[in-house]
Amino acid sequence: MLRSRIIPCLLVHNKGLVKTVNFKNPKYVGDPINAVKIFNEKEVDELIVLDIDATVEKRKPNFQMIKNLATECRMPLCYGGGVTTPEDAKKIIKLGAEKVALSAAAIENPGLIKTIGKEVGVQSIVVVIDVKKKGIFGKYEVFTHNGKKSTGLNPVEFAKNIEKIGVGEIVINSIDQEGTMKGYDFKLFESIRKYISVPLTIMGGAGSSEHIKEALNKFGVIGAAAGSLFVFKGKYRAVLIQYVDKTLFFGKNKER
C-alpha cells in the first residue's frame, strides 16, 4: 500500500553537508554520516542525498561516500549527482542505495532513463526537475547545474515526456522557494501532478510541520521533501538535525 513519505534532502558540497537558499550561498551544517546516524534514530521514511558538485565539475559520483552512506543508512536511500551512465547507476544500487536520481543527464540524454531502468528497474529511477520562474510573467522553466543553466524546457511537458519514457518517480523542486522556509510552491506542483501518474515528490520551501501537513492534505499520497526544516532550528537558523513527529500526520500506525 502506498503512503506519503516525509523525506529529508541532504546536499553535499566539498564532501560536507550544506544548505543553500535559492541554490546559492551554501552554509556548512555538518558531516553527512553524522546526519544519517541521527536520522536512523528518528526512523526517517526515506533519505535523498544530492552531491551538488558532481555535475558542475563534470565528475563521477563519489562511490566511496555513497558506500559509507548506504552502509550507515537504515532507511531507503536515494542518491543523485554525477550519474551519466547505466554503469554508474548499477554501481550505486550495488553499494546499497535503493534509488538513483538524475537531473541534467536526463535532459541531455532522455534515453538514459530507459537504459538505466532496464539495468536496475524502473522503480529505482528518479528524475529531479529543478524549476524556477523566468521573465516578467514568471513563466516556469527547468534549470540544471544548481539553477545556473537554462534549458528552455517547460516542466509540465518535460515531466510528461519522461513518464512516457519510463521513470519510477519524479521530484519537483522549486528553486525560488528552496531554502526560504516559506512554504511549498503548490501552484507549480499542481500544474504537473494533474498530468502525471507516477509517484511524485515535492521539494523546496518547507519550513514547518504545517507546511508538510498542508501538502499532504492537499495532494494525498505524495513525497514531501525538505532540507532546511530538518537541519535548522528557530528563527536564527541554528544548526540542529531533527525530524517531524509522524503521528501528527499519519496517526500511531504511521499509515495514510
**Residue 246: per-residue pLDDT:** 84
Q: What is the pLDDT of residues 124-150, one digit of tens each?
A: 999 999 999 988 888 999 999 999 999
Q: What angle do CA 47, 231, 104 make, to 5 degrees?
A: 50
In total, the chain counts a number of residues equal to 256
Q: What is the pLDDT of residues 66-107, one digit of tens each?
A: 999 999 999 999 999 999 999 999 999 999 999 999 999 999
Q: Along the 256 residues of the chain, how does pLDDT read in single tens digits?
A: 578 999 999 999 999 999 999 999 999 999 999 999 999 999 999 999 999 999 999 999 999 999 999 999 999 999 999 999 999 999 999 999 999 999 999 999 999 999 999 999 999 999 999 999 988 888 999 999 999 999 999 999 999 999 999 999 999 999 999 999 999 999 999 999 999 999 999 999 999 999 999 999 999 889 999 999 999 988 778 899 999 988 888 766 554 4
Give the residue among 16, 24, 249 at the shortest CA–CA distance from 132: 24
- Residue 29 belongs to what H/E stretch? strand 24-30
> For residues 126 and 218, what is the distance between their CA atoms, to the nearest angstrom?
23
Active site residue 88: no
pTM of the complete model = 0.95
Radius of gyration of the chain (CA): 17
> For residues 97 and 38, what is the distance between their CA atoms, to the nearest angstrom?
18
CATH numeric code, 5-250: 3.20.20.70
Given the residues 130, 176, 185, 245, select the one marked as catalytic: 130
* Cβ neighbours for 5, distance < 8 A, ≥ 6 positions apart: 45, 46, 201, 223, 224
CB 104 within 8 A of CB 55: yes
> For residues 147 and 250, what is the distance between their CA atoms, to the nearest angstrom?
34
> 3-class SS at 254?
coil
Positive or negative torsion for Cα 86, 92, 93, 95 = positive
Domain ranges for the chain, please list them: 5-250
